[in-house]
Amino acid sequence: MAEEHEHEHEPLPEGVPPVSRRGILFNLGLGMNVIAASLIGIPIIGYVLSAVFKEKAQQAWIPLGRIDQFPEGQTRLATYTNPFRRPWDGFVADIPCWVRHIENDNFQIFAINCAHLGCPVRWFPQSGLFMCPCHGGVYYEDGSRASGPPPRGLYEYEYRIRNGHLEVRGGETPNLSESV
């Protein structure tokens, strides 16, 4: 009744939609809830997406062992610890890779993951081949593709040598979108 009373005193100009207290309250409530929902939602989205924003910058140099653990001319399996290891990760944090010591300070460090679909490739020193048990990708000793479905050679990690220790720049499982 109060609204009708007001209308009597101040008739609305043409073309202006009627404004009621209920209407304002409804829109105000809606707007306040949108703001409140954003206050709750944005941090939640950030929380879930935080895994994406952790960028390569965080990739650390991770020790693989002394150089003399990798005899010249041989390719050996090594594991490095995931630099983002959490206390409950257990052995899943031990990431394997193949270390090929060519000569002197010359190494190649291959990701264990087949470039096709990520299965673990196995090294066969007798024939000098890496073979994948999933879809039959085969690579030569230098990591180049020999046969099978992989679209490229094995992924190589960057490495460096510090005080007689081999260090690998790991921290990210390579896939076709971006090589290490």
Partner 1 sequence: MKIFASIYQWLDDRLALGRLYDQSIGHRIPASASSWFYVFGSATLACLAIQLVTGTCLALVYVPSPEFAYASIEYLDYTQPFGWLLRGLHFWGSNFMVALVTIHMIQVFLFGAYKYPRELTWVVGSTLFLCVIAMAFTGQGLRFDQDGYWGLEIVMSILGRIPFVGMEATHLVQGSPIISGATLSRFFTIHVFVVPAVIISLLVIHIRLVLLMGISEYPVAGKKIDPETYREDYEKLVERTGERLMPEGGGKDLVFTALILTAIVTCAVVIGPKIPNGPADPSLIHTVPRPDFYFLSLFAVFALMPPYMESFSIVYLLPLSIVILFAVPFISRGQERHWSKRPGAIITVVLVMTSLVILAYEGLTSPWSPHMNAWSGVPIQPQFVQGRTPLEHVGATIVQGKQCRNCHSIDGTGGKRGPDLSGVATRLTYNQLVRQVLQGDGNMPAFGRHLSPYEVTALVSFLHTLHPENEPPSQNSAPEAAPPLSTDPY
Which residues lie near partner 1 (CB under 8 A)?
A: 48-49, 51-52, 54, 59, 77, 79, 82, 84-86, 88-96, 112-113, 116-122, 124, 126-129, 131-136, 138, 140, 146-151, 170-173, 175-178
SS3 sequence of the chain: CHHHHHHHHCCCCCCCCCCCHHHHHHHHHHHHHHHHHHHHHHHHHHHHHHHHHCCHHHCCEEEEEEHHHCCCCCEEEEEEECCCCCCCCHHHHEEEEEEEEEECCEEEEEECECCCCCCECEEECCCCEEECCCCCCEEECCCCEEECCCCCCCCEEEEEEECCEEEEECCCCCECCECC
| For partner 1, the closer CB: 20 or 147 | 147
- Cβ closest to partner 1, residue 19 vs residue 121: 121
Nearer to partner 1, 18 or 78 (CB): 78
Least Å from the CB of residue 27 to partner 1: 29
CB of 6 to partner 1, least distance (A): 43
CB of 121 to partner 1, least distance (A): 8
Comparison of 23 and 71: residue with beta carbon closer to partner 1: 71
> C-beta of 149: minimal distance to partner 1 in Å?
5
